[in-house]
Amino acid sequence: TLAPLAPLARAAREAGRGLAAFNVIHLENAESFAAAAEETGQGVVMQISQNAARYHGSLAPIALGTLEIARTCSVDVVVHLDHADDLDLIGQALRLGFTSVMYDGSRLPDAENRARTRDVVRAAHLLGVSVEAELGEVGGKDGVHSPTARTDPGEAARFVEDTGVDLLAVAVGSSHAMTTRDAELDLDLIDRIARAVPVPLVLHGSSGVSDAGIQAAIRAGMTKINVSTHLNQVVTSSVREVLTGEGAPVDTRRWFGPGREAGRAEAARLQRLFADPAPL
Active-site residue 82, yes or no?
Answer: yes
Closest CA to 232 of 183, 274, 185, 176: 176
Shortest spacing between CB 248 and ligand G3H, in angstroms: 28
Indicate which single residue of 227, 234, 267, 268 sits in contact with ligand G3H (rule: CB under 6 A): 227
Closest CA to 265 of 226, 245, 237, 244: 237
Interface residues for Zn ion in 200-259 (CB under 5 A)?
Answer: 204
Under rule CB under 6 A, how many of the chain's residues touch ligand G3H? 16
- Is residue 139 a contact point for ligand G3H (CB under 6 A)? no
Q: Which among ligand G3H, Zn ion, none contacts residue 177 (Cβ within 5 to 8 A by kind)?
A: ligand G3H
Residues in Cβ contact with 187 at an 8 Å cutoff, skipping those fewer than 6 apart:
216, 217, 220
Closest CA to 262 of 6, 36, 27: 36
Spatial distance between the Cα atoms of 89 and 213, rounded to a whole number of angstroms: 34
Shortest spacing between CB 51 and ligand G3H, in angstroms: 10
Contact between 105 and 36 under an 8 Å Cβ cutoff? The reply is: no
Active-site entry in 76, 82, 166, 186: 82
- Is residue 80 a contact point for Zn ion (CB under 5 A)? no
- Is residue 149 a contact point for ligand G3H (CB under 6 A)? no
- Is residue 178 a contact point for ligand G3H (CB under 6 A)? yes
- Is residue 192 a contact point for ligand G3H (CB under 6 A)? no
Spatial distance between the Cα atoms of 225 and 275, rounded to a whole number of angstroms: 11
Listed ranges 27-35, 174-182, 210-218, 236-244: which one lies at the site for ligand G3H (CB under 6 A) = 174-182
Shortest spacing between CB 260 and ligand G3H, in angstroms: 19
Between 199 and 234, CB nearer to ligand G3H = 234
- Is residue 83 a contact point for ligand G3H (CB under 6 A)? yes
- Is residue 18 a contact point for ligand G3H (CB under 6 A)? no
Query: For the chain, where are the alpha helices, taking DSSP H only?
Result: 5-15, 27-40, 50-56, 60-71, 87-96, 110-126, 153-163, 187-196, 211-220, 229-243, 253-275
Contact between 99 and 130 under an 8 Å Cβ cutoff? The reply is: yes
Under rule CB under 5 A, how many of the chain's residues touch Zn ion? 1
Spatial distance between the Cα atoms of 203 and 54, rounded to a whole number of angstroms: 23
Shortest spacing between CB 141 and Zn ion, in angstroms: 7
Closest CA to 25 of 235, 268, 240: 235
- Is residue 26 a contact point for Zn ion (CB under 5 A)? no
Q: Which among Zn ion, ligand G3H, none contacts residue 207 (Cβ within 5 to 8 A by kind)?
A: ligand G3H
Between 113 and 226, CB nearer to ligand G3H = 226
Listed ranges 21-29, 34-42, 73-81, 199-207: which one lies at the site for Zn ion (CB under 5 A) = 199-207
Spatial distance between the Cα atoms of 73 and 1, rounded to a whole number of angstroms: 6
β-strand pairing of 19-23 with 100-103: unpaired
Spatial distance between the Cα atoms of 188 and 264, rounded to a whole number of angstroms: 33
Instruction: Report, as residue numbers or ranges, the catalytic residues.
Output: 82
Residues making contact with ligand G3H (CB under 6 A): 23, 82-83, 176-178, 204-208, 226-230
Residues making contact with Zn ion (CB under 5 A): 204
